[in-house]
């Protein structure tokens, strides 16, 4: 068994055992409960406002569910769009439900380079002065003057989670990652809401740089 397969196997075993322990409510080790968060990798995606659904997919079009994502009530849609910048375009960018007040495109820096755009690192929803981008759907095109960002690293959690971790909504924490390309991510935003499920979201560049597949845990450093 080579080094890579061994690591993959170890990760899978660790995850399975952890999930089983969670099910059986056997995890009492404070270090886990009070410090570690599961990590998910967010690929590039788009949140749409109603007007833009109408333009891109046709008036009155209803988005359809592809699969659930980690946050309750949100899902990835079957619908995708193409995004375009001055240098290039990227196809098959997944639309995420629900509808938002303002269309928001989330990319990684590697995507931004392909597109030839310079999106700022921002919290979701903070779009003022963010990068312009063109969105192309099967029925129409939307030229956004602003709306494209590199999403900040963030952790969704409930008020109970926040209490346990000793953190507050909006607080910036650091998160430590183990492994051969391990390290610490700074400027990770805590997002607290009753309806959230505990999950840290990073982009594909972070995942690749830190050697993460999206089934690992990170350690919160307040």
CA distances from 127 to 63, 108, 116, 193 (A): 23, 16, 19, 21
Minimum CB distance to a copy of itself, residue 132 (Å): 11
The answer to whether the beta carbons of residues 210 and 218 sit under 8 Å apart is: no
Near a copy of itself by CB under 8 A: residue from 150, 157, 167, 200: 150
Which tokens in the block code for residue 102?
Answer: 């303002």
User: Is residue 206 involved in binding a copy of itself (CB under 8 A)?
Assistant: yes
User: Is residue 121 involved in binding a copy of itself (CB under 8 A)?
Assistant: yes
CA distances from 158 to 53, 70, 71, 155 (A): 31, 13, 11, 10
Count of Cβ atoms closer than 10 Å to residue 70 Cβ:
15
User: Is residue 79 involved in binding a copy of itself (CB under 8 A)?
Assistant: no
User: Is residue 60 involved in binding a copy of itself (CB under 8 A)?
Assistant: no
Minimum CB distance to a copy of itself, residue 120 (Å): 5
User: Is residue 87 involved in binding a copy of itself (CB under 8 A)?
Assistant: no
User: Is residue 110 involved in binding a copy of itself (CB under 8 A)?
Assistant: yes
Choose one: 13-21, 39-47, 115-123, 160-168; the region binding a copy of itself (CB under 8 A). 115-123
The answer to whether the beta carbons of residues 138 and 183 sit under 8 Å apart is: no
Minimum CB distance to a copy of itself, residue 196 (Å): 23
CA distances from 72 to 48, 80, 115, 195 (A): 18, 21, 31, 7
User: Is residue 208 involved in binding a copy of itself (CB under 8 A)?
Assistant: yes
User: Is residue 11 involved in binding a copy of itself (CB under 8 A)?
Assistant: no
User: Is residue 152 involved in binding a copy of itself (CB under 8 A)?
Assistant: yes
Minimum CB distance to a copy of itself, residue 140 (Å): 28
Strand partners, 68: 75
Near a copy of itself by CB under 8 A: residue from 72, 187, 193, 222: 187
Minimum CB distance to a copy of itself, residue 1 (Å): 11
Rule CB under 8 A: which residues touch a copy of itself? 2-4, 108-110, 113, 118, 120-121, 129, 150, 152-153, 174, 180-187, 203-206, 208-211
């Amino acid at each position: 068994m080579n080094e890579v397969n061994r690591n993959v196997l170890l990760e899978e075993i660790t995850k399975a055992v952890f999930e089983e322990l969670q099910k059986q409510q056997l995890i009492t080790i404070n270090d886990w409960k009070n410090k570690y968060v599961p990590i998910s990798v967010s690929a590039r995606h788009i949140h749409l406002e109603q007007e833009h659904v109408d333009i891109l997919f046709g008036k009155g079009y209803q988005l359809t569910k592809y699969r659930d994502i980690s946050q309750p009530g949100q899902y990835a849609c079957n619908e995708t769009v193409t995004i375009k910048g001055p240098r290039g375009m990227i196809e098959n960018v997944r639309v995420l439900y629900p509808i938002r007040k303002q269309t928001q495109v989330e990319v990684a820096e590697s995507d931004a380079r392909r597109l030839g755009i310079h999106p700022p690192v921002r919290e979701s929803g903070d779009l003022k002065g963010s990068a312009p981008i063109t969105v192309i759907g099967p029925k129409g095109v939307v030229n956004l003057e602003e709306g494209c960002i590199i999403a900040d690293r963030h952790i969704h959690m409930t008020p109970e989670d926040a209490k346990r971790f000793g953190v507050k909504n909006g607080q910036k924490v650091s998160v430590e990652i183990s492994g051969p390309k391990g390290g610490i991510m700074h400027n990770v935003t805590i997002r607290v809401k009753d309806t959230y499920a505990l999950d840290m979201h990073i982009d594909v560049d972070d995942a690749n740089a830190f050697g993460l597949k999206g089934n690992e845990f990170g350690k919160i450093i307040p």
